[in-house]
């Protein structure tokens, strides 16, 4: 039993609805057997649990670990590659790199490196695309098991518009995914995600096969991409000429429903917005990727006000950072370009509770609450001279936190806990 002291940040509601009052600050969090047992005043928890080991973080912020709702761990090595739009990016960087993941040793090396990079940035949970190779899935779940991290991942399925060596078939996509699902789903803190890359790289038969697999395993999530770039949408229309819109290419094959994770979702039609909200699917905002690849501006304010379920993501490696702090900063900047100032409470909620909610796991992770799993990050709010001098002027917690959101990096991550055990710091 351990008692962590500091500025313990947790949420009681959605700050997009209730404003900054949705967040609370306490003085201590008690963890035991991998879970959060209690939060509250330091003096009371000390008195109630005199046997607990005290770990005092002073004025550091103690938060739920960050939750990254959309990543491509196989793109770790090609992050920040220069100057391509989406389709060129795939052909020039992504596909050549993903070819290498048939080698289990290479896949394991990248998976281990990705876990180190994300944990060093305070991210304790994520949902990742792998490659078409089952070895890539095995490598990531194996790497996550070493720290007992809660992750979601799945074999990426493609049977067209990809190089030879990166294509499967409708049947092999189904069979491989079903076998990997049986092997990894619910093992430890791992969950399998059914993963068609996106409609342009899957035939109707493959989409239907994966839709069938999802119907047979409704407790799994399904992740894919939607309406990231205008020229992508035109490509989809040429490949599916009878579809009403991009979303319809998934809907008519059983790939639209509760538990669906749709990355990017920038250029949505009114019909698509209505259907996504009706089925309570999740939209995943990837701001550093959307600006880096030149995709467009996600309509956070209007989509949230309409009641959409929204998570936040780095989109490694189309995104330009492994850090959810940098991702929050980019989300703020994108919203500013749309004439909306996102409050720091809303940004932090997106990177924790919001992303956990998008992954249907906000009852387990993403917040500091009794019974939740003890995935925590301790944030130094004065990690650099520039941040320290800015936060020193703060008159409330959000003025102290905002400089770290905008300028913070892995130096701000003082300690990381996964399932009640320190793994960094």
Could you read off the pLDDT of 349-375 as tens digits, one per residue? 999 999 999 999 999 999 999 999 999
Cα(10)–Cα(226) distance, rounded to whole angstroms? 32
Mean pLDDT of the chain: 97
Average pLDDT, integer, range 322-334 = 98
Return the pLDDT at 43.
Answer: 97
Q: ω into residue 125 within 30 of 0, thus cis?
A: no
Nearest CA among 334, 322, 324, 264 for reference residue 78: 322
Residues of the chain with CATH 3.20.20.140: 66-358
Asked if the model's pLDDT at residue 81 lies above 90, the reply is: no
Return the pLDDT at 89.
Answer: 79
- % pLDDT > 70, the chain: 100
Asked if the model's pLDDT at residue 84 lies above 80, the reply is: no
The pLDDT confidence band at residue 425, using thresholds 50, 70 and 90, is confident
Tokens found for residue 183:
């092997």
Return the pLDDT at 82.
Answer: 86
pLDDT one-digit tens code per residue, 390-419: 999 999 999 999 999 999 999 999 999 999
Return the pLDDT at 265.
Answer: 98
The pLDDT confidence band at residue 227, using thresholds 50, 70 and 90, is very high
Residues of the chain with CATH 2.30.40.10: 2-64+367-424
Average pLDDT, integer, range 71-88 = 89
What CATH number labels 66-358?
A: 3.20.20.140
pLDDT one-digit tens code per residue, 53-68: 999 999 999 999 999 9
Cα(294)–Cα(279) distance, rounded to whole angstroms? 29
Asked if the model's pLDDT at residue 198 lies above 80, the reply is: yes
Q: Read out DSSP for 109-135?
A: HHHHHHHHHHHHTTEEEEEEE--SSHH
Architecture per CATH, domain 2-64+367-424, reads as: Roll (2.30)
Long-range pairs for 20-29 at CB < 8 Å and ≥24 separation?
20/343, 20/345, 20/398, 22/345, 22/349, 23/345, 23/348, 23/349, 25/397, 28/3, 28/4, 29/3, 29/4, 29/62, 29/368, 29/376
Burial of 47 (0-12, 13-18, 19+ CB in 10 A): exposed
Residue 115 has a CB neighbour count (10 Å cut-off) of 23
pTM: 0.98
Please list the residues that pair with 39 across neighbouring strands: 29
Cα(372)–Cα(375) distance, rounded to whole angstroms? 8
pLDDT one-digit tens code per residue, 158-167: 999 999 999 9
CA geometry: angle at 43 spanning 38 and 44, to 5°?
45
Asked if the model's pLDDT at residue 258 lies above 90, the reply is: yes
- In the three-class reduction of DSSP (H, G, I as helix; E, B as strand; rest coil), residue 188 is classed as coil
Nearest CA among 409, 390, 410 for reference residue 400: 390
Asked if the model's pLDDT at residue 85 lies above 80, the reply is: no
Cα(264)–Cα(86) distance, rounded to whole angstroms? 12
pLDDT one-digit tens code per residue, 140-195: 999 999 999 999 999 999 999 999 999 999 999 999 999 999 999 999 999 999 99
Q: DSSP letter for 139, please.
A: H
Number of H helices, E strands in the chain: 18, 16
Nearest CA among 68, 70, 72, 90 for reference residue 81: 90
Cα(225)–Cα(156) distance, rounded to whole angstroms? 12
Return the pLDDT at 335.
Answer: 97
Asked if the model's pLDDT at residue 109 lies above 80, the reply is: yes
Return the pLDDT at 298.
Answer: 98
Tokens found for residue 197:
């890359």
């Amino acid at each position: 039993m351990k008692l962590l002291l500091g500025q313990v940040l947790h949420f009681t509601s959605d700050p997009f609805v209730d404003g900054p009052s949705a967040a609370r600050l306490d003085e201590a969090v008690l963890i035991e057997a991998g879970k959060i047992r209690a939060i509250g005043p330091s003096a009371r928890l000390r008195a109630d649990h005199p046997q607990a080991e005290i770990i005092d973080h002073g004025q550091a912020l103690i938060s739920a670990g960050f939750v990254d709702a959309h990543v491509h761990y196989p793109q770790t090595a090609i992050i920040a590659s220069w100057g391509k739009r989406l389709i060129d990016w795939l052909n020039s960087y992504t596909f050549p790199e993903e070819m290498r993941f048939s080698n289990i040793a290479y896949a394991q090396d990248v998976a281990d490196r990705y876990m180190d990079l994300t944990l060093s940035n305070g991210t304790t949970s994520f949902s990742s695309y792998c490659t078409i190779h089952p070895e890539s899935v095995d490598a990531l779940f194996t790497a996550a098991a070493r720290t007992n991290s809660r992750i979601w991942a799945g074999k990426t399925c493609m049977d067209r518009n990809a190089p030879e060596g990166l294509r499967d078939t409708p049947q092999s996509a189904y069979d491989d995914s079903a076998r990997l699902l049986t092997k990894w789903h619910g093992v430890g803190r791992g969950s399998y995600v059914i993963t068609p890359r996106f409609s342009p790289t899957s035939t109707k038969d493959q989409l239907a096969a994966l839709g069938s697999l999802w119907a047979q395993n409704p407790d799994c999530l399904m992740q894919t991409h939607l309406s990231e770039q205008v020229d992508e949408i035109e490509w989809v229309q040429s490949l599916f000429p009878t579809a009403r819109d991009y979303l319809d290419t998934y809907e008519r094959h059983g790939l639209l429903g509760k538990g669906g994770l749709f990355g990017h979702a920038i250029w949505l039609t009114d019909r698509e917005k209505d259907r996504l909200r009706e089925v309570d699917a999740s939209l995943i905002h990837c701001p550093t990727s959307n600006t880096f690849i030149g995709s467009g501006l996600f309509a956070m304010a209007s989509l949230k006000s309409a009641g959409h379920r929204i998570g936040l993501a780095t989109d490694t490696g189309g995104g330009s950072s492994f850090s959810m702090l940098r991702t929050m900063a980019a989300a703020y900047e994108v919203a500013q370009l749309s004439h909306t100032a996102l409050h720091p409470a809303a940004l932090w909620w997106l990177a924790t509770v919001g992303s956990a909610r998008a992954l249907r796991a906000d009852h387990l992770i993403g917040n500091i609450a009794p019974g939740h799993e003890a995935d925590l990050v301790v944030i130094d709010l004065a990690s650099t001279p520039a941040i320290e001098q800015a936060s020193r002027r703060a008159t409330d917690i959000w003025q102290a936190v905002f400089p770290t959101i905008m300028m913070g990096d892995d130096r701000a991550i003082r300690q990381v806990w996964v399932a009640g055990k320190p793994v960094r710091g």
